[in-house]
Amino acid sequence: MIARFLFERPWVLLAVWVGVELVLVGSWSFSRRRGAAQAAWCAFGALPILLILSTIVVTPTERIITLCEQLAASVDQGDIAAIAQAFDDEFEACGYDRTAFLERAERTLTRYRIDHARLRNFAVMVSAGDRATVEFNASGLVRSAEVGAQHLSSRWRLTLRARNNLWVLTKIESLPTPPLNVGDPCTWLW
């Protein structure tokens, strides 16, 4: 919890720091003690250190969210090679192995164009060891010769594992998204 607060949310850290600093300066204003002044000055000095640490330290949750955003950008560009790099050798989805799934995804991305892919509402659960699950909402503009352009919202669950200090996908699932309930991604693949 502390790691999440310190390293993943710098704006929350900054807001808490401002509150603490106001209390310390207020305490010094009333007491005029040397210790209160030193505490206030130390807090001023701690802010840059905390922000630098927050920027330098990259947590597993941040790595997973970055991977998901890179995948969304690759889908937006139709870059199957970049997508394939994020898949584990033992990847499985919809009864397809890695190769079959990527072939079908490539055919689908040639037929349909996805623009402005956006991800939000991440829920990342990193288990002890090398496994993790992430759920998020995705939206984008889907275009094709048959359909024209439609805005599509969906919810996804990705299962990942750490391999050589990188996270790779082992499974993809589509989750129900009211009111659309988009369904299984297998029905989208040609």
pLDDT digits (tens, 9 = 90+) for 96-108: 889 998 998 888 8
DSSP3 helix / strand / coil % (the chain, rounded to 5): 50, 35, 20
Query: How far is Cα 6 from Cα 54, in angstroms, rounded to an integer?
Result: 6
| Structure-token match 């297998």, residue found | 186
Q: What integer best gives the mean pLDDT of the chain? A: 82
Against a cut of 0.85, is the pTM above it? no
Q: What is the mean pLDDT of residues 56-61?
A: 80
With cut-offs at 50, 70 and 90, classify the pLDDT of residue 68.
very high
Quick check: 41 pLDDT over 70?
Answer: yes
What pLDDT sits at residue 73? 92
Inter-helix orientation angle 10-31/34-56, to 10°:
170
57 or 90, greater pLDDT: 90
| Range with lowest mean pLDDT among 10-14, 36-40, 83-87, 181-185 | 181-185
What pLDDT sits at residue 49? 81
